[in-house]
């Protein structure tokens, strides 16, 4: 132990020889040395932490890694997703846009570099990259291998990527939605018969039969007037003021007679999805050759109606604000909750810049910068007139009620005619007989006038007709008594003329 103490004292004495003496006391100067870039010796930074002496009990502490916000104009290597290749994966960047306001990620990375006092070096990539044989390719491959510090693009976060790399604080919520043109106002909904099922219709029919039987019995038993009031229940009012449900979900779209298609940028996502409804959409689009369609072309098809287009919300909304500005209010956005995720900046696993970048993103969020950039990355749907949740029923919505009303009117008119004829059947019978008699008389008269070859026969027929009229003039009930019943009252009546009339088929109407 004594030997060890002597060696320590000797080393201390030697170290004191290198120290400067101020006021006859020993003073130690402390510095903090670190690298901004591990592989670059030129990024070596020396921070002075002050001096220490026996009279000084406090010493300036070194700055934590999380608090280092000065890169001293040293570069940050940014891997940018170019988006010029048509065969790239689902998260292709929109940097091919020409206008500056359409490049919000550019503004974000410039703002971040300004806060960190860093310069930028960019490396362009055609594709975001996929995991192949346990190795990432393209942009994500360079991020995972540490070739680039940050990946910049509309790159979403998922569990597979989180296993091999880290991500910054989320920038925006990323989603893929369906864009359709709502059915026209003339679309028939048949809300009148909608609340009636078969069982209820049978009950209504049974009640009508019961009412008919009851009214018939009352009319048969008594002569009193039976007055019936028919009123609708209050629920009819709520039915006629229906809620405009329309198509609200992906499942509703698949149940309607709509064609579906999806964007070419979402082909990889659609082929790997496990959701049942999304798989149905993929199969329907593939069978109808509506897969891998350009976003602008797909939205134009949706504008024409009866077509649903599945695309990224960021790209579709920006297209509606630029290329399809005239038709922006004709489309409706249906959110697909199965596709919700976030866009963030990918970095190398255990990257030394993760905490620094996240801290600056939070500062930008507090100042409102992230919200402003996020509105440009994911703009809102165009502001149009808000559709009403409830609206009154239209003629097309209650067409079945008018059909039933027309059928009821026709049946009522038919029943009225039958009742009218039945109540006046005797009068109609006599009137019909008179019409037939007049017709036959005119016909016989015309035959007599044309037959001029036998004037003697004409004279005999005329005399017989006069005699028959004189015989039957005594009786009031004409055509109701047979010849046998008339003979019972007056056997002297001569019916030879009647037989002659039947033979000649000449009938003269009787007078009361």
d(CA 171, CA 148): 20
Return the HEC string of 334-394. Answer: EECHHHCEEECCEEECCCCCHHHHHHHHHHHHHCCHHHHHHHHHCCCCCCCCCCCCEEECC
d(CA 481, CA 265): 99
State the DSSP code for 43: G
Residue 484's pLDDT is what? 52
Summarize pLDDT for 119-170 with one digit per residue, the tens. 999 999 988 888 888 899 999 999 999 999 999 988 999 989 999 999 999 9
d(CA 14, CA 9): 9
Instruction: Look up the pTM and report it.
Output: 0.57
Residue 424's pLDDT is what? 81
Residue 232's pLDDT is what? 54
Residue 347's pLDDT is what? 95
CB 70 within 8 A of CB 118: no
Residue 501 CA: distances (Å) to CA of 386, 448, 468, 487, 498: 88, 14, 9, 18, 5
At which residue do the structure tokens 């050759």 appear? 289
Look at residues 368, 328, 341, 387 and name the one whose alpha carbon lies nearest to residue 179.
Answer: 328
Residues of the chain with pLDDT under 70: 1-26, 55-59, 83-102, 184-197, 223-245, 385-398, 447-512
- Tokens linked to 387: 């559709």
Residue 283's pLDDT is what? 92
Residue 486's pLDDT is what? 47
Residue 464's pLDDT is what? 59
List the domains of the chain with CATH numbers: 2-63 (no CATH), 72-175+340-388 (3.40.190.10), 446-504 (no CATH)
Look at residues 147, 116, 189 and name the one whose alpha carbon lies nearest to residue 39.
Answer: 147
């Amino acid at each position: 132990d004594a030997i060890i103490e002597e060696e320590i004292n000797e080393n201390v004495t030697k170290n004191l020889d290198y120290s400067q003496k101020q006021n006859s006391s020993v003073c130690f100067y402390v510095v903090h040395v670190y690298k901004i870039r591990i592989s670059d010796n030129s990024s070596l930074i020396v921070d002075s932490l002050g001096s220490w002496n026996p009279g000084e009990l406090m010493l300036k502490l070194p700055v934590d890694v999380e608090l280092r916000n000065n890169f001293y104009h040293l570069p940050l290597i940014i891997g940018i997703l170019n988006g010029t290749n048509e065969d790239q994966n689902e998260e292709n960047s929109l940097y091919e846009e020409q206008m500056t306001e359409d490049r919000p990620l550019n503004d974000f990375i410039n703002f971040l570099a300004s806060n960190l006092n860093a310069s930028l070096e960019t490396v362009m990539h055609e594709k975001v990259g996929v995991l192949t044989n346990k190795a990432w390719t393209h942009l994500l491959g360079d991020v995972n291998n540490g070739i680039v510090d940050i990946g910049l693009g509309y790159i979403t976060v998922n569990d597979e990527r989180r296993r091999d790399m880290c991500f910054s604080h989320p920038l925006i919520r990323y989603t893929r939605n369906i864009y359709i043109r709502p059915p026209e106002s003339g679309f028939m909904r048949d809300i009148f018969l909608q609340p009636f099922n078969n069982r209820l219709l049978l009950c209504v029919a049974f009640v009508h039969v019961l009412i008919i039987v009851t009214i018939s019995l009352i009319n048969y038993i008594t002569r009193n007037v039976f007055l019936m009031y028919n009123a609708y229940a209050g629920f009819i009012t709520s039915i006629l003021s229906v809620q405009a449900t329309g198509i609200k979900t992906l499942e509703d779209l698949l149940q309607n007679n709509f064609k579906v298609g999806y964007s070419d940028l979402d082909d990889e996502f659609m082929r790997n999805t496990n959701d049942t409804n999304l798989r149905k959409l993929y199969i329907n689009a593939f069978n109808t050759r509506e897969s891998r369609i350009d976003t602008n072309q797909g939205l134009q098809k949706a504008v024409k109606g009866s077509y649903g287009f599945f695309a990224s919300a960021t790209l579709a909304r920006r297209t509606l604000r630029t290329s399809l500005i005239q038709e922006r209010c004709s489309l409706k956005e249906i959110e697909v909750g199965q596709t919700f995720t976030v866009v963030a900046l990918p970095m190398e696993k255990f990257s030394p810049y993760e905490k620094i970048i996240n801290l600056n993103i939070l500062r930008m969020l507090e100042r409102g910068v992230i919200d402003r950039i996020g509105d440009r990355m994911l703009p809102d749907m165009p502001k149009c007139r808000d559709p009403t949740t409830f609206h009154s029923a239209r003629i097309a919505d209650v067409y079945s009620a008018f059909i039933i009303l027309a059928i009821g009117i026709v049946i009522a008119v038919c029943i009225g005619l039958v009742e009218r004829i039945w109540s006046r059947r005797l009068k109609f019978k006599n009137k019909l007989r008179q019409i037939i008699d007049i017709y036959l008389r005119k016909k016989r008269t015309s035959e007599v006038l044309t037959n001029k070859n036998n004037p003697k026969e004409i004279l005999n027929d005329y005399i017989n007709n006069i005699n028959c009229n004189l015989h039957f003039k005594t009786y009031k009930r004409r055509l109701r008594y047979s010849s046998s019943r008339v003979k019972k009252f007056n056997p002297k009546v001569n019916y030879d003329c009647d037989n002659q009339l039947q033979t000649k088929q000449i009938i003269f109407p009787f007078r009361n």
